[in-house]
Homo-oligomer: A and B are copies of this chain.
Amino acid sequence: MLPTSETLADLSEGEVLARIFPRLPGSAAQLLGPGDDAAVMRAPDGRFVVTTDMMIQGPDFRLAWSSPHDLGWKAAATNLSDVAAMGARPTALVVAIAAPPSTPISVIEGIADGLRDCCEALAPGCGVVGGDLSASDALTLAVTAFGDLEGREPVLRSGARPGDVVALAGRLGEAAEGLDLLFRLAVDETGTPDAALAQALRAQHPDAVAAQLAPEPPIDRGPAAAAAGATAMLDVSDGLAIDAGRLARASGVGIDFTRSALGENVERALGGGEDHGLLATFPPGAVLPDGFRALGVVTDAAGRVLLDGRPHDQAGWDPYRGWDGAVV
């Protein structure tokens, strides 16, 4: 039997873990890593930041489009982004994976490699300190991520004040463009996701497809924004307009975007989901940290999102309404 055809059902849990552990990144903040009932982490300033997110085959990804490496990468990246959006530096992840017993061990190894490569690229020093393996029908990744505020106050959604500059680090609309391309051009005539078509599409549109399948959120800009005095910040996961609305309501302010700052496709910039950029507000006159660009200003139009001073309404992604039920 070739090594790559080994499945989870062929190996004991201990054997699977022995395959995965050496591939995972260690955490610089770990006092005790995987192997006991729980891990023990350092929390140097007496606090830690924590967020959790689950990705499920079907509603959240298709195996014909995402490689195992993509899945591990994206599961890490989206959680790291939530940590960064508090102004914290990511320190560690714990990862629960559920998979059908027929899953090749190479899939789990690929996920582990994606987790490692994402941490090394976007959040050096952040590692995997624990996890869990279960059986399921649909491949499922549940990641919980931790961060260190390094003595700073967390940057909440609620701190924006009228007159602040609205700024963004990261891409806008590219992940949505990638998803749109995949649904239009990487499906066969029956509408079923197709791996070969996805691979060809990725060669043609590498930036958009990668923004969807293996995003590179600007993790280190979170702590940088906090250090530069950001008054509010959040991860742009459901589209700029939706997430700006959240920040606006939490802060009791308006967010007025400047159309000319939003690029060529303004609707996609405002509506596209899964950007995982960092939307932050800075006091008037603040020097924006490297990587942030101004998109508009904070106004006193409580809870409203505006475009060149006019109201802008935008429907959003909803996990129970947006899934077509397909799991291929």
Contacts and interface: CB of A to CB of B under 8 A. Distances in A.
Interface stretch (A52-60, A256-264, A297-305): A52-60
A310 interface: no
A214 to B, nearest CB: 20
A228 interface: no
B37 A135 contact: no
A142 interface: yes
A53 B96 contact: yes
Interface stretch (A40-48, A194-202, A267-275): A40-48
Interface in A140-154: 140, 142, 144-147, 149, 154
> How many identical subunits does the complex contain?
2
A40 B47 contact: yes
A245 to B, nearest CB: 11
Contacts of A51: 37-39, 94, 130
Interface residues of A, number: 74
A98 interface: yes
Contacts of A37: 51, 82-83, 85-86, 157, 233-235
A134 B48 contact: no
Interface string A113-155: 0000000000000000111111111101010111101000010
Nearest to A142: B142
Interface in A276-328: 318-321, 323, 327
16 contacts: A32-B156, A38-B83, A38-B85, A38-B145, A40-B50, A40-B86, A45-B46, A50-B129, A50-B130, A51-B130, A52-B94, A52-B96, A59-B134, A59-B135, A59-B136, A136-B138
Interface of A: 8-9, 11-13, 16, 31-32, 35-56, 58-60, 82-83, 85-86, 88, 92, 94-96, 98, 101, 129-138, 140, 142, 144-147, 149, 154, 156-157, 233-235, 250, 318-321, 323, 327
Given A36-B156, A96-B142, 5 more contacts: A40-B47, A42-B46, A54-B142, A56-B98, A56-B140
